[in-house]
Structures are given as C-alpha cells and as structure tokens.
A and B are shown apart, each in its own frame.
Chain A
C-alpha cells in the first residue's frame, strides 16, 4: 500500500465511521432503561427558549446523546476491557473481579457518615426506645470486599474501625453487639452482587438467635429460581460475567407466615418470596419484595409471643425469614424509605427485641437514613 492509498483508506474508513455512527445516532430510537446500570436513560430534552438561554438544554442534550449512544453497552464493555486488560487498571468504576467474584473497592471510614447514622439511631432511641423494656442489639454486616480485598490487594473499608467508631457513637444506649464477621466469607455472597446468599447465612441466623436468646429449628428445604441473576456489580463492571443463581429456603413454618406490607400506609398482604420481583430489574427484590419501608412477618404457630423489630437495609430481607421461627412477629423497618418520625403510628415499643442490622456500605454512606 503506497502513501496515496493509505490516505485514501484513512479518509474513507474514518468518514464511514464518523458519518455512519452519526447517522445511527440521529435516527436511533431512544431506549428507556439500562439493565446494566439499573437506571432510566436520559430522553431528548424539552426545547424551550429559557432552557437554551440557561444552558440547561445543552447540558441535558449532552446527557441524552451519551445515554442513547448506539451500542452503548458494548462500548462500555470495550472501555472496561481497555482500562482493565490493556492499561492494566485495577478496577473499572471501582468494581473489580477476583477469582470469579465481582466486588467494589471500599471507601475509607467516613466519620461524618457514621455520625449521621448514629444520630438517626439516637432519634429512634430517644423517641421510641428509651424508658421501655426493649432489648437492644446492634450488628454490622461486613461488605463482601472485606473478605476479598486483602488477598486481591484492593481497597477495603476497615470493618473493625467502622464498628468500633459506630459503637463509640452509640454510647447513649445500652445494647449488645452481635459480631457476625467471623461467620462469613466471600463465598457467602453472590458473585456478581453485594448481598449475601440466603442459603449461606443459616449459621448467621443461628448466631443472632443465640445472641438474642431465641430458638430456631433451622430445618429448611433449599429451592432454586430458574432465572439468571446478574447482580449490581455485573453491570457496573461492564465486562461479561457469569450470572449467579438465586436460592431460597422454605419450611412449613415459613409457608404459614403472614407477611403484611405497610408501604402505602395501610396494611396490604405481601409475601416472603416475590416471584414477580425475581423477574424484574433487581432479582434480589425476590426477598420480601425489595424496598419496603415497613413490613411485618407474623408466625401464627410460634411457640413464643416474643417480637422483633428489625431496623435494617436490604441485607435484612433475606435474613428476616430465617428468624421468623423464633418470633411471633417480626417488624422490619427501613428508615431509608420512611421518616423515623412516622414510626410511632405503626409500632408500640414495649418489650420487643430491637435489632439494628446494617451493612458497612450503608453506614459508611448513610445520608439515605431519614
């Protein structure tokens, strides 16, 4: 190939690439949602004189063109491949792969975030728990990264430092700390997701039972959903990854439990395992239907009248059913989705067990707690 041919090929190839892609951009219909990033995609902005004058139109248009770019998911994979495999970067948007597990680099312990979480707990304590006969428990679930980072030489949140700091901030109340960090390992979490696997945490449930002085028989049958589960890290990592499977535990006791949701303010029948949600955007919402501000699990055949109030994040969704045997009623409260000040309308605190169960990640990024 001589110089002239090279120039001709260069111009033709680049023109085809530029104009072909541009034409595709111009005519492509807008997608609504990206499953990889689990978010809605920007749509063509409304064109108004004010939006143009303020520059909002241009900003929104740029967002729209990036979100709606043809083959965006494939290009994200190409970017991840370039960063991880060619430039040898250790993570893509903080997410890395180690021995088949996808995980996210942990942030340094954030004292302001822990303080915020502690302040929210203090509000609950002072308004509902102080002066009652409740038994208080507190536990922090280590991030999966805690079990991988040392070996994979990635960054992790210092779980022990976080727990110690949190404990010092909760000195206003008397509680028992239940440490589950020794019972878990990376394999107890989904390979592509941040959450733990229900079938791997029966020992964790037993440990809570022992800590809170309840009895669990713990005999379950393991069932498996026939759907591939691409966890939250899968889309963020952007390179192809093998899906997880979702297993869930059943028993006679669990099948008789009555689940009631208060997400609309009034009671509505719900389920422990939501098969419809399993086919949705986040299959982990299979457990207790995902984001629910207030739920109760009643066990009509319980040998006890004890009750548990579980202040929790999403990890609690798969654990709570395993504690159902030991209680007549479990009330799950997620103060990310309801104002703490509303709680008095739904729960009378008297002598329940009250467990604050949160993950490292949530406590270290606690602004969502209300």
Chain B
C-alpha cells in the first residue's frame, strides 16, 4: 500500500489513528505492530511471513548476543543473525542477478529463479542488522519485548521506503513516547508536504520521463529535459516519501532522522552524499566503512574501503550492473575529491555547483537507464555529438507543458522557499500571516493531492524495487 493512495489515506490511516489513540498506552505498540503487519500483508500477503522470520531471528539473536556478551558465542550469534539477514537479501533480491551474471561469464545454461522481490526487504533487513550489531557492540541493550522489537522493524511509516531507522534512535520511544499538540501538528505538516511533493511534483515529472522513454523523436534538448526531470522526480519521490514517513512517525510519537537536506545545493559530491539518503549513507559508514578501517588505514586500503562501500551502495539500490556502475562512478568522484579536488573546489563557488550538478545528472542517467546501452544513448544525446537535432516542435511543446513544473521543482529543491518563509516569519505581521495561512494551505494541498489521486494519476513509487 502506497502512502500516496486513496486506500492508505482514507481507509487505512484513519483506522489506525482511531485505534492507536483510543487504546491504552500499554497496547499502543501492539496496535502499531498489528496494523503494520496488515499494511505489509496488503502488498505482500505471503512475504509477511518472511519478514516475521527476519524479526524473530533478530530478536533471538539479540538476546543470545547479550546473554553471551564477551564470549565467543556472542560473535557467533551475531554472525548467524547477519548471515540470516544478508541471506534473505541475497536470495530474494540478488539471486537472479548473480545467476545471470555467472551465466554470462561462464556460458553455463543455468536457469533463473524468477523470485518476486519482497517490498521493503532492503530496509527491514538493514534495520534488523543494525539492531543486532548495536547489541553486540554494547551500544544498546537487547530488547526483551518481542512486540517492541517487531514494532521497530515492521513500523509501517518507514517499512517500505525508509528512512533506515536505527534501533538506538528509537529504543527509548518504543517504550516511552509523548504525544503533544505541537508534535502532531508538525507531523501533519511534514506528512502533507511530503504527499504534495510526491503527487504533484514527482508524479508529474514522471509523466515527462515516460514521454521521453516512449518517444522515437529524441533531441539534445529532450535528453537534457529528461535527465533534469528524472533527477528531480527521484528526489521528490524519495524525499517526499521520507517526509511522509517522518511526519507519520511524529504523529505516532516517534522521531525519525531527516533523510534529505537539499542535496542539490552541495558544493562537492562528498557533501552531496551527506545530504542525499542520509540514513543509508550513515548506515554504510557505521556498519561497513568504519569496520573496514575507514580512513585510518594505508592509503591504498582506504581507497579500497571507499570503493567497496560505494559498490555495495550501488548494489543496494538494485540488482543490476547499472546500479553497481552508479556506485563505482560515485566512488571514483569521492576518491578523486579526497585526493585532489576538494581544495580546488573551494576556490570557485559557481564552478563547484556546476560540477556537482553535472556529475549528479550524469549519475542519474546511469541510475535510470534500463541498461548500459540506453544510458550511453542518453549521455550521447546530451553531449550533442550523436547527430541528434537540437530540438523539435514536439519537444518544445513538452517544454512549454512541463516548464512550469520543472521550474517549481528546481526552486523547491533548494532552501529558497524555506529561507523566504523564515525571513517573513521574522516580522510580526509576516509571522501572523503565516500562522493563519499555514493550516489553510495544508488543507488545500491535501485536497489537491487527493484530487490528483481521485483522477487516477500516474502513481508508482520508484524506490519499491529497493
């Protein structure tokens, strides 16, 4: 079930909120767990058992790791737990990818398993792993209450699209959380803004991307329009979904980490990845990069660590070679920046923004391509060296039709609107105007988003495949 869908907004969510706020405190997690399992089973009736197995494995492992803390057995149970999580991920997400790659290299007639990817498996397995690793490291106590742990893993706001919530961040909130008017209002605000980002911006930009993909009449201008639209679509799709998760969490008394912080204003790729999908970046940093030695090793080992982490980051996004290439592409830039470029980038503010935007745009050509061939085709088209015309009447039409939304999206991807509002709020009359307008604008945004849904607009969620 998508957050940006009528069944979620007007059937599931109101039902959950009524139940959640009606039951006594002691039953709130039970309500959240049961409704989250229902939420998951709605899209994956069979795979809910798989998630249940993952939760149970994490729960038992956590207890055993703590029970045998300081002993060899503790390490064994951690290894078992991580192996189970990675095993689930490897089998359900990567098995066919590995088989196909092996088949291509060896020429052996192996048949694919054709396994359907369980929704959200990349998120909940990573959460389970972070829990057992944190227990092993002694960063947190093992959770003795199965319902609490299951609620943490299965909690519907972050279950299928993140952010990847660390157990240590919400451990306290699982047993003790407060619900206040200001937090609820703030949660509603973040949720509705995320919904608007997803439905009005990401989905509309997605229509333009579809037009490009289906068109036989490409041009240089069209290639650029496509990749700008695609880049913004992914950003608003994912950050919108993250916002909705954060907002829902806040309404339910949880505080999830911010997942995006205006990545397109970055002045280096290093900074970009501190602002884009923050929960994933920090997960890989804490559970892969630092355990590998981070930067406190020899230079060659350090570079290898970066390479490994980014190859895995790419692979996390999808079981295909273009995702691996995407990760390696960023690894190359990050290494280059760390070795040579960062200091030079500080010299020109404009050039470093151009550098980041171009690098990111090209990365999304790789990210969004069906295969490396079509990525090369789009890159060639963007370069203007493949003989494509600069523009055609058809593309000028799409530029007119989607120009407004592209402009809004580009401005919306910067902190400019927030800065303007902050400036306005500094004045007494401005603050009063914002206070009056805000609830009304939120209601209007919800109604317009609902109108788009009722119109049956284009609505897939891009990150489902992860």
- Residues of A near any B CB (own CB < 8 A): 1-11, 13-14, 17-19, 21-23, 25-26, 52-53, 55, 58, 61-62, 65-66, 69, 72, 75-76, 78-80, 82-83, 87-91, 108, 153-155, 238
Contacts and interface: CB of A to CB of B under 8 A. Distances in A.
A69 B404 contact: no
Contacts of A66: 6, 453-454, 456
Contacts of B400: 90, 153
Nearest to B432: A1
> Which of A25, A79, A88 counts the most chain B CB atoms within 10 A?
A79
Interface string B391-415: 0001001001111110010000000
Contacts of A108: 216-217, 394
A1 B454 contact: no
A26 B6 CA distance: 12
B397 A154 contact: yes
Contact of A14 (B10, B188, B408, B451): B188
Nearest to A155: B397
Contact of A79 (B394, B440, B446, B452): B452
B401 A91 contact: yes
Contacts of B440: 13
Contacts of B11: 22, 25-26, 65
Nearest to B181: A7
Contact of A65 (B7, B43, B452): B7
B185 A7 contact: yes
A51 to B, nearest CB: 10
Contact of A87 (B7, B404, B443, B447): B404
B43 A58 contact: yes
Given A62-B5, A78-B447, 15 more contacts: A6-B436, A10-B188, A13-B440, A13-B443, A14-B443, A21-B450, A25-B10, A26-B11, A66-B453, A69-B6, A69-B454, A75-B455, A82-B451, A88-B404, A90-B397
A11 B185 contact: yes
Nearest to B183: A7
B contact residues, range: 35 or more
B14 A82 contact: no
Q: Is the interface of B mostly helix, strand, loop or mixed?
A: helix
A79 B181 contact: no
Contacts of A155: 394, 397
Contacts of B181: 4, 7-8, 11
Interface in B295-312: none
B251 to A, nearest CB: 9
A238 B388 CA distance: 37
B442 A14 contact: yes
Contact of A89 (B45, B394, B402, B457): B402
A37 to B, nearest CB: 10
6 contacts: A3-B435, A9-B439, A66-B453, A69-B6, A75-B454, A90-B401
Contacts of A11: 181, 184-185, 188
Contacts of A9: 439
The 6 closest A-B pairs by CB, nearest first: A7-B185, A22-B14, A90-B401, A75-B451, A78-B451, A75-B454
A65 B10 contact: yes
Nearest to A71: B454
Contacts of B439: 6, 9-10, 13-14
A69 B447 CA distance: 12
A21 B189 contact: no
B435 A1 contact: yes
Q: Which residue, of A7, A53, A69, has the highest number of chain B Cβ atoms within 10 A?
A: A7
A109 to B, nearest CB: 10
Contact of B204 (A3, A17, A87, A154): A87
A197 B230 CA distance: 43
